[in-house]
Amino acid sequence: MGLKKKKRLDWAVIGRTLLILLVVLPPVALLGTALQRGYWIYQLRQERIRTENKVQQLKAENDALAQEKENLGDIKYIEKVARDEHNMVGKNEIPLFMVKK
């Protein structure tokens, strides 16, 4: 008689354990999946922000290059660049150099 009572007690413990596992494990698995998806969405948003910043940078660079291309058709601009950046002088001009002491 004592053995049967012991077996019933073991089955009761096993049954409760299984019930707890069936109730607890699925939400834990869903939570893990939700966290993983949330992190993936976060990474995608960060990548989108970096890409948008890069697009803005490239647009600004493109605008600057378009302006430079337009300026290269202007003889006054070319003369200014030649004087300022390359120390060139015009025909019949005498270059003056300032010497600091």
The better pLDDT of the pair 13, 61 is held by 61
Contact between residue 77 and residue 71 where contact means Cβ atoms under 8 Å apart: yes
pLDDT of residue 25: 82
Of 5-9, 39-43, 44-48, 56-60, the range with the lowest mean pLDDT is 5-9
Distance CA 84, CA 64 (A): 19
| pTM over cut 0.85 | no
Report how far residue 42's alpha carbon sits from residue 49's, in angstroms, rounded to the nearest whole number.
11
Query: What's the CA gap between 42 and 34, in Å, rounded?
Result: 12
Confidence of residue 50 (pLDDT cuts 50, 70, 90): very high
